[in-house]
Structure 1
Amino acid sequence: MAPSPKRLGKKIIGYPEQVVPVVSVKDWLLPFTQNPVQHVINYFYRLFPIIGWISRYNLGWLTGDLIAGFTVGIVVVPQSMSYAQIATLPVQYGLYSSFIGTLIYCFFATSKDVSIGPVAVMSLTVSQIIAHVDEAHPGKWEGPEIATTVAFISGFVVLGIGLLRLGWLVEFIPAPAVSGFMTGSAINIAAGQVPGLMGISGFNTRAATYQVIINTLKGLPRTTKDAAFGLTGLFTLYAIRILCDYFTKRFPRRARVFFFLSVFRNAFVIIILTIASWLYTRHRGGTKGKFPIKILGTVPAGLQHVGQPTIDPELVSALAGELPVATIILLLEHIAISKSFGRINDYKIDPNQELIAIGVTNTVGSCFAAYPATGSFSRSALKSKSGVRTPAAGILSAIVVIVALYGLTPAFFWIPNAALSAVIIHAVADLVASPPQVYSYWRVSPLEFLIWAAAVLVTVFSTIEIGVYVSVCVSLALLLVRVAHPRGYFLGKVTLRMSGRKEQREVFVPLAKDGVTNPEINVTPPAPGVIVYRFEESYLYPNASIVNSALVDYVKANMRRGKDMSTVNLRDRPWNDPGPRRGEADMERERNAKLPDLHAVVLDFSTVSHIDTTATQALIDTRNQIERWTNHPVEFHFASILSSWIRRALIAGGFGVGASSSKLTYEIAAVVPYRDGLGDGPIGHLNRNSPQESDDIEKGIGGLQQGKESINSGKTRDESGFEPVLPLETPFFHLDLESAVRAAESGLAEKCT
């Protein structure tokens, strides 16, 4: 039965009775044009997730947030001062960043666990940026001004990425790459803090890690009294942590008590060492204030630099080359942390909204002289374990920080620098990937393990900046290699039978041993003259030629050549295909006669989610090359097409419609189209069809009715009471691979009869 006129689409000019698919550009634009006012409302509603949960806030949530907020606040004060030292900034700037980060984030957050503020890796990056600018323009700008400018510009860039909903760009960087440069950075930071822990000076602690380690070992004889405070603090931090972990396992009912004892270890160590420092140095400062150990010194109270930030265009130009790495670290670390805790605690984060939150935090933070802040792994883990219920816990953390800024700065004067180095080393040690984690990278993907190792080694032996670029570039290169060199298999059939049951079914598996299916089973090839090929990747311009070569080479090696080249004069043979040599013609003819004549190629598109113009042209080239080899038309069947846009592209290339191949397009992506009036095809193209063949699409449909899938439908039916699942206008598109192969083999049977 021919399809009714209402089911036919518009004809494509230049094609025989060929119809366009149902999908159109208008269909693609339709979701964006329907109810635009509601889209705008939803967009702005998503900008402030707090609207969705603040109206349901209750006393139970408040209790959890108070505990978590206070706990994080106690930890963030010493950590932010320590990280400010890494950034080569006065310690108050770390407090400014932590105050703004914990306060602003809760209004835009989609993660309840993440704690925003100064972090070790970002602080080290800021120190390198300051050093770079100061080296190029000595003394022109102060460190805080440079750091604030970095916060404003990088925050603005991240905010723009979030507002434009481009957060998916972060997905191009895999977890091993992030872990690699985080591990390398942690080693870099820890190595740079050991001299401060021991009181060793006289060399650049921000050089390459291996140089810092070598110089530290050389400087051990110059160890000062600072080591007594630093080593004691570091030992105490680990002792409290280990003991609390032990007692948690020993007395699980008291686990929460030991957890909070462990949480306060940073504050406890800083308080004890500050008291010890005050007792030891208060009468040893002399008239010039030279103390026997290095102490923090004067910390200005309160917020000293509130106001509109001054952004010097010349300064922006000077640090422009350093901004990309700062921006990458800013968004990468935060997204990785927020996703991790969302996965652990069973809630979904919005990457775009998280980027907006980070962007707003840093742009607003520049009005308070804050330096770049992002998500902290250690504080986020602490916040999560403390029982945080909503992002509002950050408000209490901000209150703790501001109280410290206005009320505790006189006490900060006596904090030993070695104690802050101990806090930093203890904190960044958790960023180093554990051996089981590294081994899991190797087990899952050895190539990704190499990315991790490369990121670590480059970071250790050069800088964090180069480590970030290497990990990102190598990850993108690996992605391109995987896309450009996809796996694909020629398939055969095996019969599955359920034990204890009579039912059996056929499935398609690779003809060659693939390391997945049992090598002992016998795979039955499809009927002679039928080829079944499965793609393992989207069909795009990077891999189009690979797939083309695989199909054409297989046909030339396993299918009969339609034209006997031994009968063709040497002068008429193509230069790249001279045919058999003298004396080998009979042998070649005999071998060729034993090969099956190709009738149909079945392509499994079940894993193809996209196809582009270059790939469509490559598929046309494949068809043309195969038909030149067979010297007659070959059917191309397609199974399990996932997208109406793939269907549209294939029809545009002349596939699926059952039209005579002599009328199909020869070139859809012409780089230099023919303009000589000789037609679209090259002179001398094979006349693959006799003039008696009909170009009517309905003839092709009628011949394939029995192989076309149908299903019982309550709508329009044919005489049998069934409605086709797929349109009759595309008889070579099939619902699944089994029906595609069946249709191809049935056509072969008709041809033989």
Structure 2
Amino acid sequence: MATERAKNFGKKILAYPNDQPSVVSSKDWVHNLARDPKNFLVLYITRLFPIFGWITRYNVGWLTGDIIAGLTVGMVLVPQSMSYATIATLPPEYGLYSAFVGTITYCLFATSKDVSIGPVAVMSLTVSQIIKYIDHKHPNEWSNPEIAINLAFICGFIVLGIGLLRLGWIVELIPVPAVAGFMTGSAINITASQVPGLMGITGFDTRAATYHVIINTLKGLGRTKKDAAFGLVGLFTLYAIRITCDRLARRYPRRARLLFFISAFRSAFVIVVLTLASWLYTRHRRSKKGLKHVGTPNIDPKLLSALAPKFPVATIILLLEHIAISKSFGRINGYKIDPNQELVAIGVTNTVGTVFGAYPATGSFSRSALKAKSGVRTPAAGILSGIIVLVSLYGLTPAFYWIPTAGLSAVIIHAVADLVTKPSQVYAYWRISPFEFFIWAAAVLVTIFSSIENGIYVSLSTSAALLIFRLAHPRGHFLGRVRVHANGSTSDARDVFVPLIDNNVINPQIRVEPPQPGILIYRFEETFLYPNCSIFNSEVVDHVKANTRRGKDLRLIPLSDRPWNDPGSRHGSTAEWEENVARPVLRAIVLDFSTVSQVDTTSVQALIDARDEIERWTNHSVEFHFASILSPWIRRSLIAGGFGYDRRIQSPHRLHDVAAIASDGNLQSDKPTATDIETGGWEEPSLTGSSYGEIHHGEASVVQVDTPFFHLDLAEAVAAAEIGLLKLSPQSSTSSSHSVENDDVKHNDSSA
């Protein structure tokens, strides 16, 4: 039987209420991931086109909301897209190309009704910096549109691949403060770069580090031109309309919806007025209409090679900004988005967009907020927005020439101001997690004093460092017991286990009773994996050595035979031994695994090492009880490490070390002889007369009977350890009561 157990090492053990443990192989586990490959493939393809889930139920009520939202967003999308194209150092029409493709394509793949895809400020600024980088490395070799289109093509394919492979979960590794940090820094960067255009100041690089641009702008205020008349008037008008409409809406609630739409059209209104003024001030040539750059994109391998170092930052912005926006509006409006599907939408938009001359596009915060407030009902609203953009391309292209640069700068500054994190939100970061506040601050400062690219990398690296630090330095607590009475009734009482130390959570007036002398209760607060297992080992072993009795009397051991790292006093001290004897004898350790979702080879080996070191200290076996293990893989792993049963009377389920070079363990008899403290015996349970899922006392254990040290909850595990304490220490009742009392006092003091 022992040989059979050794052969079955590495197999999964599952629990069934009507049988002994059933052993299934890892092959069966893999098969369960896709029990029906045909249905899995159909589901995968269906999920690629969410439109089929709602288009068949489309109705007039939805159509009304979509028309209003589509028209509203379209009117804002046209001036914003042209403005953002100027940030990217591209002609204004390229912004409309990106807007047209994004709004039309997105509805086919969308899982968010609110998001509006198109040119955005942060991505546009990144494109301008990438163009500057390529121009510096390869001067005059490629035009700005060629660089932007090639960038969109490759980044689109990268994001599409991530979505198709269902790897969208990687976005979840980046916390909200990191995203807010580089968005805030980018907004400040964009605003600073647009002020010279707003004032008509020239003569320096507006794509340099933000602080350089601010300094040069202040130095150049004396060179302000007539452009400031367009820019400052336009910026003032934008804020005046917005503030006036907001105040009137609060004063006249019945007119709030009308005032909202008036405010929404303020960008289009300002652009039209400023364009008309510009045309009246100076007029000459006309421009060709429509989609002038439709055709197969010229994908240059040499250009792609030059762009390679910039692919990561562009890709991160594409996926990160869009997922953050779509998740936010889904949470606000009561639906969930599929991150993988959203990445597919972004990927298709950017790859298909290169045929129309589009540069990289992603979700826009300001337009998405406008779309949501306009009462959008489905993603189909984007189709109408795309039609408005297309009409603008064919009907208004000649007017694009007359749009003043200062007017576009005013629209940009007004739009990106909302991307700056509000002080109340920054204070919330500080209240919730000071470490994440510093991540936000670092991202903002690096973006301002260096670049958006470095700001993103700093926010990502610091977030990863914080995650690793938290995983590698988990909090764990030794627990005590508090008796809780429901509604003041002594008959309806239960035990809860809380930290023995004061943690500002438990009422300090409540007395927390430590466990019985000889028992330790420890709760993990993180999953138990290789980065943090050594911390657990140190905490538990050090606590045992500081608060429990050493099993060997060092006075009887020659100095030459003592371990070098713990030799004790040279000749052995009677006082030292008396102090040791006053401590309780450790008999059981109860580990609460309720927060542990994963273990690995290294962590199980650390658990084995801790047990071996503790038993060398106590000079006898120590029971290890585990509570709340619900994962069959954790159970299997612990059994492989020799846990879950009494090793003195049962055959080991493992070769002593799971991560050792060699093992000298001996396989013992397989026949259990002890009584199971949960079921009252090792006999095969009979379930005759009981229904599945219902277990009557004396019929079966909820957990499997071959692992009596695995328990359903912590209270049961502690009770089992206390019963085992009585069985393992019968002499305690006849020994000195004074010694026991001293043990109790010692345990109270040390644990508290």
Output the TM-score relative to the length of structure 2. Answer: 0.92
Q: Does 1:98 align with 2:99?
A: yes
- How much does 1:658 deviate? 2.5
- SS of residue paired to 1:603: strand
Change (3 A) 1:377 1:716: closer
Q: Which runs of 5+ in 2 are unaligned?
A: 15-20, 731-752
Change (3 A) 1:34 1:235: same
CA distance in 2, matches of 1:580, 1:740: 38
Instruction: Summarize deviations over 1:260-306 as a string: whole Å, max 9, x none.
Output: 00001001111111111122223xx7xxxxxxxxxxx8654211222
- How much does 1:31 deviate? 2.9
Query: Does the aligned pair in 2 maintain the 1:617–1:667 contact within 8 Å?
Result: no
The aligned counterpart of 1:26 is 27
Change (3 A) 1:312 1:719: closer
The aligned counterpart of 1:196 is 197
The aligned counterpart of 1:606 is 594
- SS of residue paired to 1:638: strand
Q: Does 1:698 align with 2:692?
A: no
Amino acid at match of 2:482: V
CA distance in 1, matches of 2:231, 2:624: 74
The aligned counterpart of 1:138 is 139
Q: Does 1:742 align with 2:714?
A: no
CA distance in 1, matches of 2:454, 2:295: 35
CA distance in 1, matches of 2:30, 2:86: 52
Equivalences for residues 84-163 of structure 1 within 5 A: 84-163=85-164
Amino acid at match of 2:691: G
CA distance in 2, matches of 1:666, 1:581: 38
- How much does 1:697 deviate? 4.7
CA distance in 2, matches of 1:341, 1:707: 57
- How much does 1:702 deviate? 4.4
Instruction: Summarize deviations over 1:697-744 as a string: whole Å, max 9, x none.
Output: 521354664499999943699996532111101100000000100000
CA distance in 2, matches of 1:661, 1:751: 13
The aligned counterpart of 2:398 is 410
CA distance in 2, matches of 1:667, 1:312: 60
- How much does 1:316 deviate? 0.9
Query: Does the aligned pair in 1 maintain the 2:13–2:636 contact within 8 Å?
Result: no
- How much does 1:159 deviate? 0.3
Query: Does the aligned pair in 2 maintain the 1:92–1:300 contact within 8 Å?
Result: no
Task: Identify the match of residue 648 of structure 1 among 603, 620, 636.
Answer: 636
The aligned counterpart of 2:206 is 205
The aligned counterpart of 2:71 is 70
Q: Does 1:486 align with 2:474?
A: yes
CA distance in 2, matches of 1:19, 1:78: 63
Equivalences for residues 304-315 of structure 1 within 5 A: 304-315=292-303
- How much does 1:25 deviate? 1.7
Equivalences for residues 335-734 of structure 1 within 5 A: 335-502=323-490, 503-582=492-571, 585-660=573-648, 664=652, 665=654, 667-670=656-659, 673-674=661-662, 679-680=663-664, 695-702=669-676, 705-706=679-680, 713-714=690-691, 721-734=698-711
CA distance in 2, matches of 1:708, 1:231: 86
- SS of residue paired to 1:495: strand
CA distance in 1, matches of 2:291, 2:307: 26
CA distance in 1, matches of 2:44, 2:297: 29
The aligned counterpart of 2:743 is none
CA distance in 1, matches of 2:249, 2:289: 39
Amino acid at match of 1:114: V
The aligned counterpart of 1:12 is 6
Change (3 A) 1:39 1:13: closer
Greater alpha carbon shift after TM alignment, 298-307 vs 628-637: 298-307
CA distance in 2, matches of 1:385, 1:544: 50
- How much does 1:118 deviate? 0.2
Change (3 A) 1:546 1:500: closer
Output the TM-score relative to the length of structure 1. Answer: 0.91
Greater alpha carbon shift after TM alignment, 718-727 vs 59-68: 718-727
Change (3 A) 1:413 1:387: same
CA distance in 1, matches of 2:474, 2:682: 30
- How much does 1:659 deviate? 2.8
Q: Does 1:170 align with 2:185?
A: no
Change (3 A) 1:708 1:382: farther
Instruction: Summarize deviations over 1:439-485 as a string: whole Å, max 9, x none.
Output: 11111111111111111011011000000001011111101111100
- How much does 1:376 deviate? 0.2
CA distance in 1, matches of 2:7, 2:151: 57
Change (3 A) 1:324 1:187: same
Change (3 A) 1:253 1:718: closer
CA distance in 2, matches of 1:14, 1:109: 48
CA distance in 2, matches of 1:667, 1:476: 35
Q: Does 1:42 align with 2:43?
A: yes
Instruction: Summarize deviations over 1:348-393 as a string: whole Å, max 9, x none.
Output: 1100000000000000001111000000000000111111111111
Query: Does the aligned pair in 1 maintain the 2:650–2:673 contact within 8 Å?
Result: no
CA distance in 2, matches of 1:566, 1:579: 9
Query: Does the aligned pair in 2 maintain the 1:187–1:432 contact within 8 Å?
Result: yes
The aligned counterpart of 2:742 is none
Query: Does the aligned pair in 2 maintain the 1:119–1:374 contact within 8 Å?
Result: yes
Change (3 A) 1:488 1:509: same
RMSD: 2.5
The aligned counterpart of 1:267 is 268
Amino acid at match of 1:680: D
Amino acid at match of 1:262: S
CA distance in 2, matches of 1:708, 1:443: 54
Instruction: Summarize deviations over 1:623-669 as a string: whole Å, max 9, x none.
Output: 10000101111110000013111001101111003333896556544
- SS of residue paired to 2:109: coil
Identity across the alignment (%):
65
- SS of residue paired to 1:699: coil
Q: Does 1:224 align with 2:225?
A: yes
Greater alpha carbon shift after TM alignment, 652-661 vs 639-648: 652-661
Query: Does the aligned pair in 2 maintain the 1:660–1:695 contact within 8 Å?
Result: no
CA distance in 1, matches of 2:690, 2:509: 43
The aligned counterpart of 1:294 is none
Change (3 A) 1:211 1:716: closer
Change (3 A) 1:151 1:716: closer
Change (3 A) 1:648 1:555: same
Query: Does the aligned pair in 1 maintain the 2:181–2:459 contact within 8 Å?
Result: yes
Greater alpha carbon shift after TM alignment, 492-501 vs 168-177: 492-501
- SS of residue paired to 1:493: strand
- How much does 1:96 deviate? 0.5
- SS of residue paired to 1:428: helix
Query: Does the aligned pair in 1 maintain the 2:649–2:673 contact within 8 Å?
Result: no
- How much does 1:614 deviate? 0.5
CA distance in 1, matches of 2:113, 2:276: 35
Query: Does the aligned pair in 2 maintain the 1:208–1:462 contact within 8 Å?
Result: yes
Change (3 A) 1:194 1:121: same
- How much does 1:680 deviate? 2.6
Amino acid at match of 2:664: D
Q: Which runs of 5+ in 1 are unaligned?
A: 286-296, 682-686
CA distance in 2, matches of 1:401, 1:708: 76
- SS of residue paired to 2:353: helix
- How much does 1:512 deviate? 1.1
